[in-house]
Amino acid sequence: MENQITQFGYVLIFMVIGVSFVGIGFLTSWLLRPDRPNDEKLSSYECGEEVVGSSWVQFNIRFYVVALIFILFDVEVVFLFPWATVFKEFGTYGFLTGLFFLGVLIVGMLYEWRKGDLEWVRPHPVIPSLEPKQIKARQLREEKPVTEPDPAAAE
């Protein structure tokens, strides 16, 4: 049972099988399921409320920053894979070159940390408190009924 497929050929076979399985699944359900669409059913789900606008809106910029930092780090990690497999053959030299490469990466990370790019927006809790002025005003309000002129005394 010899054939000419390379190992990546098998990967392709797996992908094709994956896609076909999903296709067969969809086909089976298409044959069995009912199909009775109406306007209400096809509207976007918003917990039963009327849909307000589109959801294709501007998004929190933090997510894009995370994506950018991820790309930098991921590319660096990719470069480290070949290093990790062979550095032992070069002894101290191999170790130090890897260390230098990692050092540049770590300096970049410290810079991002210092700049606050790794901070996520956090809600600032508002703790209710009373200013001294407000306390005084409240005391005045509470004392007011006492200071009201007594009708009996006015007579």
Partner 1 sequence: MHDLVLKTLGIGDLLAWLGVPDGSLVYPVVASVFPLVFLIIFALLAVYAERKVSALIQNRLGPMETGPWGLFQTTADILKLIQKEDITPKAADKILFFVAPVLVFTGTYASLAAFPWSSGFVGADLNVGIFYLLAISSLVVAGLLMAGWGSNNKWSLYGAVRSTAQIVSYEIPAGLAVLTAIVTTGTLSMNGIIRHQEGMWFGLLFQSPFLFVAFIIYLIASLAEVNRTPFDLPEAESELVGGYHTEYSGMKFAMFFLAEYGNMFIVSGIAVAVFMGGWLTPWGTEPSVLMGVVWMILKSLFFVFFQMWLRWTLPRFRVDQLMYLCWKVLIPIAFACLIGQAAVEVYL
- What Cα–Cα distance (Å) separates residue 103 from each residue in 44, 86, 99, 100? 49, 19, 6, 5
- How many CA within 13 A on the CB side of residue 45? 1
Within residues 23-82, the interface with partner 1 by CB under 8 A covers 23, 25-26, 28-30, 32-37, 39, 41-47, 51, 54-56, 59-60, 63, 66-67, 69-70, 73-74, 77, 80-81
CB of residue 2 to partner 1, shortest distance in Å: 6
- Piece of 97-105, 126-134, 135-143, 145-153 that binds partner 1 (CB under 8 A): 97-105
Q: To which residue do tokens 């049972």 refer?
A: 1
Is residue 98 within 8 Å of residue 106, measured between CB atoms?
no
Please work out the total of residues on this chain that contact partner 1, with binding judged by CB under 8 A: 75
Amino acid at 105: L
Closer CB to partner 1, 99 or 137, in the complex: 99
86 binds partner 1 (CB under 8 A): yes
**d(Cα 118, Cα 83) in Å, to the nearest integer?**
28
140 binds partner 1 (CB under 8 A): no
107 binds partner 1 (CB under 8 A): no
